[in-house]
Structure 1
């Protein structure tokens, strides 16, 4: 039996679904940011799921966050609808101990849009794109902030060609242009279109640089800045392969045809054990439903069977996440957290005819 190499075992571990944030306990302290990035392993369009914010919610209010997109990903301006957002905030004027969940969309807007005018000094200059995150709560409260898509310059280019700049208004009472009702950004889960992956295997690091406000002011506290990172280990899409065969058997006295399909997952040429693989089937590739899921064996395989009444399509999917390594600073500020990002894989589509 072939097993994973120790090097590869240290690089990856399995997860089934996405990412979650725990609601924070609130107060005033140094920031403790975190970022986790998820995507797909296919070459071409690569939707991103980015979870980012303060891990405990107890830090000073964020003024600015800059996320650097690694060179393995390129940016192509999406249509007006950029993606979706789920945001956690605190209305400090009302109840500074109670986080509020809001959800909504991310859309492309003009840099002169009046809804983001108060944030224009956060990231002056020319932008590749300007996005507005606009979310509402169940109770009807609303919150919005801009994300500027910029080209990196100077020494920043070593981290990638594109950066995302998040800008937040200060929540403190008595300040001009402060956030409505003292709304303090805590965290967000974003799903973004407009990015593509070059399709090559390898490890990439997403870096983020966070700057808080000096407590009770609208002044950026550069001395309190922190970095957070997320590492993605991407295999090639061909490392998840689905094969199958048709077997004739007798069931309740009748001759029936069954499909036996095998999903095989490997990395660096060796099988990967202990990963949950979901296999789907259906009469068309666009309408697949779950056939079943299982954990890969020591040989890196999951096997499922299905009755065949005619032509049937099959496809397998799996999600892997990297184990976080050391958070090595990139910007001469402390690096608070490093996470392992998630990568979702889809196998080839298999067609078997009964």
Structure 2
């Protein structure tokens, strides 16, 4: 990315410095003209100071920060990189653009202290965007505890997942409203625009899903879209559930993947114009077989090579949890195209 473009992006973030800090440095608080937090990794404390006001560039610019204990300093692009654990600067700028594209209304107009969204239609794409904007990165939260408990320990490239500590749950219009922590996933289209969100409500200690009747629900415009991990080029892997997709990512962290959230939606995913090879991470059940067959027919009709990748057990997360990473690696290597084994398999 050209240097002047990065500077412009940093300036745009600086114009919204407090909103950026509330989102990515949620452990801190405002004190006058500064946001105060422990460090650039969002730990609690008072060592790091972020300027909330000032010129757009140069000395004293809004968004510039200094950590008094380490002497480190930088801008809000550095904050995004460090809090999300991003390595590739392209991923940092994509996340910054995604964040800047979200609506950021005044807090008192859009939420209560426990995260109620108001002023938009329930279940709409706009409501899903606001919910995702209200959530925070999953590192160090119950979302990470939950995923670690599912043997998903590497969270590289999972910026599509966020954590909301007090997310509303209501079984139906006649049921009382409950509040549970939740993983909130961004559902996006081929251009990266958020069209929906998926919630997984969690137990209060992160040991499993919340003890509610339907702990997983989606909202917004889902058809054709999905929860994306990495940007698809010539290769894409698609599966039904988020955990089903995150499990092979423990072995294939750089392969672009997406979770369609159900078998029916998997069969209907839209193909990027650049796509040449599609892997289908199927679940071993009739719905998974039907989704695979439908997807294969669609891919073949537009000249895309489709490859079915099957777990040993019911799904890939079950393989990962009960057979381990090395066994999963062996399973995947047998089913990938030779070019992709060399390109994507780690270890």
TM-score interval for Structure 1 and Structure 2 normalised by the shorter chain: under 0.3
TM-score using structure 1 length: 0.24
Q: Which structure is higher in helix share?
A: 2
Structure with greater Cα Rg: 1
**TM-score computed with the length of structure 2 as normaliser:** 0.24
